[in-house]
Structure 1
Amino acid sequence: MDIRIGITNSPREINFESSQNAGEIEKIVASALESKSSYISLKDDKGKLYVIPTAALGYVEIGSDTSRRVGFVA
């Protein structure tokens, strides 16, 4: 799952691959925003932990579960 997180007042994004499914990630982000939690934490495929303050969240883009095709499609 490809995750892209935009940070307010920053030209760069956080972009990583995660083994969590789209529903889990959406639930983590939504519950943190609803409960006014101060941060969210997500793990990538390699075991890195990302802790992002909710006040700095611009957007969270959750990619699809489908794998990418290699080659040309006719």
Structure 2
Amino acid sequence: MALMRCVSSFAATVKGRPHVVNVGQLIEDTDPLYVGRERHFETASATAGNPPRVEQATAAPGERRTTSRPRKTKGGETDA
């Protein structure tokens, strides 16, 4: 019994119930969602040293973020 990580999202119906499996979701290789859909998975140990990249949403303490705002025109409307 191995732990498998989904590498491409998919939807499937198992025993009459719909399921959605997202990238990064972990399931066991004995799960009915895995059987017959092996191409969507890789072993979880293969990605243990490679966590998925996630964009940082906020600045760290002391870090400056630059933002650009749309220029205002003479009429007070933004230039988009």
TM-score bracket relative to the smaller structure: under 0.3
Bigger relative CO (Cα 8 Å, ≥ 6 apart): 1
- Which TM-score applies when normalising by structure 2? 0.24
- Which TM-score applies when normalising by structure 1? 0.26
Q: Which has the higher strand share?
A: 1
